[in-house]
C-alpha cells in the first residue's frame, strides 16, 4: 500500500433505527480519521454516546441514497457495503483500493437489495462463536474503519498521558444535532415529519421528498 | 502463528459503570470466540444489547480482581490490559503470546494503577482523528478480541445467507442475568448490597466482601 495523503473514508448511514448508535459511531468515526458522516433519509439524530465527538466530525445530509452515492462517486470513492454477503471479502485482507465510503445496513435487517445495488463490493468481519448472527452495527463499523485507517496509513494522533489529544471544540453555528440551515426550517420540517411519521410509520425513509438536498453544505461546505 | 486449538481468550470486566455495555460486549465476545466473560465486583448485569448472546457465553464471577487473576494465571493466561499506556503496544501488531485475558477499564477513568499492576502488558488501538480521547469501551474491546481471534486462527463460524449460524439457545437453569446459586441467596445478597451501596456509593467495588467466590462454577463449571 503506497502512502497517499489523499485517501479518505466516509460512513454512510441509511435507515439506522437506533439513533444512539449514531453518537457512538461518530466517536469511532473521528477516532479513525473519517472525513464525513453521510446521513441519508432522516435528518435528526441523537448524539448520545458521542462524548462530544459529533461537534468534531462533519455530517452531510442527503434525502436519497442515490444522491449520496453520486456525491461520493464524484469524489472518486468506492462504495463498500458492510454486509455478510456470500461474495463479501474479509476486512482482515484489507481489500480497499482507494478512498472509500462504507454503507451500513439497518440494525435488524442489514443492507437491503436496493442498498446493495449501490455497492461496488462488500466486506464482512469474520465471526468464530455460536452465540450471535451478527455484530452490533456500531461495533462492526468501528472495526471496518479501524482497518481502513491502518491500510490507508493515516498518521497516528498525538497522545497525552493515557488519552489521545482532542482538539478545541469548534464553535457551533447551528444546533449540532440537527443538520439544517435555519431554526425556522427545522421547526417547519419537524412538523411535516411528524405528520408524515404518523401516516407512514416512524422509520419511513423520506427518500423522494421534495425538500432540498444537501442542507448541510451551508454548514460543512467543502 | 502456529495453529493451536488450545488458545483461548477471556474478557475481564471490572467496574464497568454502564451495564448496557456488558450486553453488547457479550455479543462481541461470543462473535469472537471468547471462552468466558469474567465479572469482577458487581454480580448483576443488564443484558440490553446482547441480542440473547448472554445465554450463549459463560459468565464467571469473582469478588476481587486478584482472585480473578489467580484463576486466569492458573489457566496459563497472560493478563493484557486494554489501555493507552505509554508502553502499550498497538493491537495491529498482534503482540499476543498465548491464551489471554483482556482487562477492560472503567468507561470514564480507564484502568486504575492498581488494575494495571495485574497486567503482564498493554495493548491500545491507534487513533487518527482529533475528536475523541478514546473509544467506547465495548468498541475498543471488540476490536481487540477481533484481532486476537485472527491471530489465534480460530475456525470461522458457518454462515447461512447473510448471517452467521446461531446455536440453539441453551436451557436456562437459573436467571441468566444474575450469577448465583439460589434465589434465596440472591435476595439476601441484594439486600446487603443495597445497604452497602447506600453507605458507599453505587459503584463501590465489593472486593473484600466475605461472600463466597465463584458462584458461577455451579452453573458454568469447567
A145 domain-assigned: yes
Q: How far apart are CA B125 and CA A192, in angstroms?
A: 43
B191 domain-assigned: no
In chain A, positions 122-141, which contact chain B (CB-CB < 8 Å)?
Answer: 125-136, 138-139
- In this prediction, residue A127 has a pLDDT band, given cuts at 50, 70 and 90, of very high
Higher-confidence residue of B97 and A170: namely: B97
In chain A, positions 147-166, which contact chain B (CB-CB < 8 Å)?
Answer: 149-150, 154-157, 159, 162-166
CATH number at residue B33: 3.40.1280.10
Q: B104-108: which pairs have CB atoms within 8 A and are 24 or more residues apart?
A: B104/B11, B104/B12, B104/B13, B104/B14, B104/B16, B104/B137, B104/B140, B104/B141, B105/B14, B105/B15, B105/B81, B105/B137, B106/B14, B106/B15, B106/B16, B106/B17, B106/B137, B107/B16, B107/B17, B107/B18, B107/B21, B107/B136, B107/B137, B108/B17
pLDDT, tens digit, 9 for 90 and up, residues B47-71:
556 777 777 888 898 989 999 999 9
Whole-number average pLDDT of chain A = 77
What phi and psi values does residue A82 have, to the nearest 5 degrees? -95, 95
In chain A, positions 170-209, which contact chain B (CB-CB < 8 Å)?
Answer: none
Cβ contact A178:A44 at 8 Å: yes
Q: Residue B84: which of A55, A138, A164 has the nearest Cβ?
A: A164
Question: Is the Cβ pair B129, A155 closer than 8 Å?
Answer: no
Question: Is the Cβ pair B132, A32 closer than 8 Å?
Answer: no
Q: Average pLDDT in the A8-37 region?
A: 88
pLDDT at A45 over 90: no
- In this prediction, residue A145 has a pLDDT band, given cuts at 50, 70 and 90, of very high
Higher-confidence residue of A208 and B100: namely: B100
Q: How far apart are CA A148 and CA A98, in angstroms?
A: 10
List CB contacts (< 8 A) between A92 and chain B.
Answer: 150
Q: How far apart are CA A91 and CA A125, in angstroms?
A: 6
B202 domain-assigned: no
Q: Average pLDDT in the B107-131 region?
A: 93
Spatial CB neighbours of A200, under 8 Å, sequence gap ≥ 6: none
Q: Residue A129: which of B30, B134, B163 has the nearest Cβ?
A: B30
Question: Is the Cβ pair A157, B127 closer than 8 Å?
Answer: yes
Question: Is the Cβ pair B138, A135 closer than 8 Å?
Answer: no
The predicted structure's pLDDT at residue B192: 53
ipTM for the whole complex: 0.76
Residue with cell 426550517: A185
pLDDT, tens digit, 9 for 90 and up, residues B27-51:
999 999 999 999 898 666 555 567 7
| Domain range for B52 | 9-160
B172 domain-assigned: no
Cβ contact A110:A137 at 8 Å: no
Strand B159-160 to B163-164 pairing = antiparallel
The predicted structure's pLDDT at residue A168: 78
B98 domain-assigned: yes
Question: Is the Cβ pair B83, A150 closer than 8 Å?
Answer: no
A120 domain-assigned: yes
Q: How far apart are CA A50 and CA A63, in angstroms?
A: 23
pLDDT at A206 over 80: no
Q: How far apart are CA A113 and CA A81, in angstroms?
A: 11
A200 domain-assigned: no
The predicted structure's pLDDT at residue A214: 29
List CB contacts (< 8 A) between B32 and chain A.
Answer: 127-129
- In this prediction, residue B197 has a pLDDT band, given cuts at 50, 70 and 90, of low
pLDDT, tens digit, 9 for 90 and up, residues B132-161:
888 999 999 999 999 999 999 999 998 888
Report how many domains make up chain B.
Answer: 1
Higher-confidence residue of A51 and B201: namely: A51
A133 domain-assigned: yes
Q: Note whether A89 contacts B: Cβ–Cβ < 8 A.
A: no
pLDDT at B190 over 80: no
Q: How far apart are CA B13 and CA B203, in angstroms?
A: 13
Amino acid at each position: 500500500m503506497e502512502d497517499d495523503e489523499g485517501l479518505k473514508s466516509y460512513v454512510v448511514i441509511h435507515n439506522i433505527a437506533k439513533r444512539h448508535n449514531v453518537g457512538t459511531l461518530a466517536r469511532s468515526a473521528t477516532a479513525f480519521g473519517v472525513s464525513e458522516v453521510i446521513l441519508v433519509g432522516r435528518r435528526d439524530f441523537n448524539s448520545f454516546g458521542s462524548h462530544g465527538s459529533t461537534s468534531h466530525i462533519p455530517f452531510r445530509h442527503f434525502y436519497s441514497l442515490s444522491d449520496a452515492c453520486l456525491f461520493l462517486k464524484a469524489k472518486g470513492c468506492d462504495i463498500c457495503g458492510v454486509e455478510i454477503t456470500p461474495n463479501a471479502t474479509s476486512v482482515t485482507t484489507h481489500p480497499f483500493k482507494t478512498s472509500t465510503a462504507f454503507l451500513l445496513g439497518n440494525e435488524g435487517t442489514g443492507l437491503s437489495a436496493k442498498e446493495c445495488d449501490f455497492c461496488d463490493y462488500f466486506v464482512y468481519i469474520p465471526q468464530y462463536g455460536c452465540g450471535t448472527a451478527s455484530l452490533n452495527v456500531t461495533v462492526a463499523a468501528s472495526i471496518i474503519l479501524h482497518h481502513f485507517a491502518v491500510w490507508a496509513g493515516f498518521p497516528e494522533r498525538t497522545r497525552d498521558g493515557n488519552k489521545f489529544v482532542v482538539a478545541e471544540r469548534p464553535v457551533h453555528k447551528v444546533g449540532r444535532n440537527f443538520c439544517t440551515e435555519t431554526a425556522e426550517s427545522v421547526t417547519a420540517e419537524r412538523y411535516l415529519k411528524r405528520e408524515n411519521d404518523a401516516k407512514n410509520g416512524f422509520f419511513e425513509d423520506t427518500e423522494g421528498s421534495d425538500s432540498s438536498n444537501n442542507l448541510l453544505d451551508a454548514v460543512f461546505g467543502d
